[in-house]
Amino acid sequence: MPIQRELVQERVSTAATQLAGFARSSRDDQRTWAIKLLAAATRDLPPGERAAVQAGFCEVMRMFELAETR
């Protein structure tokens, strides 16, 4: 089954917007929220979409400097 790109983009965008709301929090708090947001964004997805959302969210975390860059 092909990955539903619009669904993936929507989930990543929603999680990124929510994470931006925690920009004033400490780094540890931001990481905790990022993990919770990612879990919520992927919980009901099949494996293909889940992996795509996780990859997109990793890019968001790099943007917020919450993850190592490649």
Which pLDDT does position 31 carry in this prediction?
83
How many domains would you assign to the chain? 1
| Residue 55 resides in a domain | yes
| Residue 64 resides in a domain | yes
Helix-helix angle 47-63:27-42, to 10 degrees: 160
Question: By residue range, what is the domain housing residue 56?
Answer: 26-42+49-70
By the 8 A CB rule, do 8 and 35 touch? no
Q: Residue 65 is inside which H or E element, if any?
A: none
Please write the tens of the pLDDT for every residue from 4-17.
989 999 999 988 88
pTM: 0.76
